[in-house]
Structure 1
Amino acid sequence: MSVIARISLPAGGFELGQVFTGTAAEIELSEFVAITDDPLPHFWVTNFDGDIESFEATVRDDPIVGALTRLNGLAGKVLYEIEWADGVDGFLTAIATNEIIVEWATGTAEEWTFALRAGDREALSSFYDDCLTHDVPVTVKEIHPEPEEPDEPQFGLSAKQHEAVTRAFEAGYYEVPRTTSLTELGTATDISRQAFARRLNRGTHRVFANTVMLDS
């Protein structure tokens, strides 16, 4: 059974946090899955003193940042993708190596709080050990099993999968030609492109498994 952990760590204790120590920005991470050993997290900036160009220049000047891309903007916040210059060690590597999912995270120039989902307690323990190995000062606030989802919607879909399939259909993702993209769908759902694609693929697979393939 997967487990949820809430942790905190000082901003200066890991790569992504270090980037923002020189800004007044408040950061929000939506759900993302580290699909390689060099994760490219997406984050929302919700406070940048009204000077977005100055914020972007400060982040891009950091030597560990390879690229910063502005993806989208809503009222009062802006979505970015960050790419690392020469790979990263420590906290983000521990997330990728142990296949940890970031459910959400918030951070300031002083401290960050994360909600993490691990496949089991062993994976969470391995993640914690990796953080200690890289001198990442993680403080574990709480650990508990992931609650079971309520009754699933039709066709065996989870609530999140049902939302993804429905949103994709209504937005024209299945039209020819398509009228939306996975990036746009992920942004609308407030998660990363990779997380939305994973959710949509699983939902589509369940729809086929419980309809078209039943008589095969």
Structure 2
Amino acid sequence: MVLIVEFEIGTPILRRTVAAVSRIDVEEIYRSETGAIKLVCWVYGDDPEAVEPALEADDTVAAFSLLEDPGDRRLYSVTLSEQGQAHLTYPTAAKYDIGYREVTVTEDTNIRARVPTREALFAYRDICREKGIPFRIQRIFEESAAAGDRYGVTERQWEALTVALEEGYFDVPRETTLSAVAEEIDISAQALSARLRRGQANLLRNTIGESTPT
């Protein structure tokens, strides 16, 4: 049975930045065409003007750009420095087919992930510790018992997919635009694009991805 695991790691990534704000939600982690590791993340805080000086002073950040500023939060594209990449655990998670669902940075980095087996979880944990990254499991439960998990799709992904479907985004030809759907659920178009991709990947992985062709 596939597991949903909530755990905490003590990675230094964005640690200096989050000290100046209240919370960072990572929407997407990916490797660019140039090979750089990038994060798309929402930054929350009472003082928006403190965000960019904190990013500039963060030695895990090589570069950043503002993507969206709806007022109560800001969406940034962040390129990790060599220091940041050295402490990134996402490639290890991918190696063991562990899929991140939610990543929230506060005093520590809290991750909610879909894990195929306990062996994969413990292998991931051991590599984190080998890198000097503290690892602590908070909760483990079977995916079928996870509230809001339907075919491996999180509640936010389910909302994005449902609204996009209802508005005709998946029709041929399309009846609406990505920006219009994003406005409907009050997120940026780039954040919506990332959420749709993750939702579709989870949906496919837990439907046709688990079937055996005959």
TM range (shorter): 0.5 to 0.7
Distance 1:187 1:57 in 2: 32
Matches within 5 A, 1:75-154: 75-86=71-82, 88-90=85-87, 91-108=89-106, 110-147=107-144
Of the candidates 63, 67, 74, which is equivalent to residue 71 of structure 1? 67
- Checking the alignment, whether the CA contact within 8 Å between 1:183 and 1:193 is kept in structure 2 is no
- Checking the alignment, whether the CA contact within 8 Å between 1:95 and 1:101 is kept in structure 2 is yes
Cα distance change of structure 1 residues 99 and 81 upon mapping to structure 2, 3 Å threshold: farther
Deviation string 1:93-122 (CA, Å, 9 cap, x unpaired) is: 4334334322223332x3332222212222
Distance 2:184 2:101 in 1: 15
Deviation string 1:23-43 (CA, Å, 9 cap, x unpaired) is: 13322335x566789653332
- Checking the alignment, whether the CA contact within 8 Å between 2:13 and 2:60 is kept in structure 1 is no
Q: Can you give the 5+ residue segments of structure 1 that lack an aligned partner in the other structure?
A: 207-216
TM-score, scaled to structure 2: 0.67
- Checking the alignment, whether the CA contact within 8 Å between 2:154 and 2:199 is kept in structure 1 is no
Letter in structure 2 aligned against 1:67 = A
Aligned to 1:211: none
Q: Can you give the 5+ residue segments of structure 2 that lack an aligned partner in the other structure?
A: 207-214
Aligned to 2:5: 5
Cα distance change of structure 1 residues 79 and 145 upon mapping to structure 2, 3 Å threshold: same
Sequence identity, in percent?
A: 22
1:42 aligned onto 2:43: no
For the aligned residue pairs, the C-alpha RMSD in angstroms reads 4.3
- Checking the alignment, whether the CA contact within 8 Å between 1:33 and 1:99 is kept in structure 2 is no
Of the candidates 53, 70, 82, which is equivalent to residue 49 of structure 2? 53
Distance 2:64 2:21 in 1: 17
Q: Shift in Å at residue 69 of structure 1?
A: 2.6
- Checking the alignment, whether the CA contact within 8 Å between 2:20 and 2:50 is kept in structure 1 is no
Cα distance change of structure 1 residues 35 and 186 upon mapping to structure 2, 3 Å threshold: farther
Deviation string 1:101-145 (CA, Å, 9 cap, x unpaired) is: 22223332x333222221222221221111011010111122222
Of the candidates 25, 43, 62, which is equivalent to residue 22 of structure 2? 25
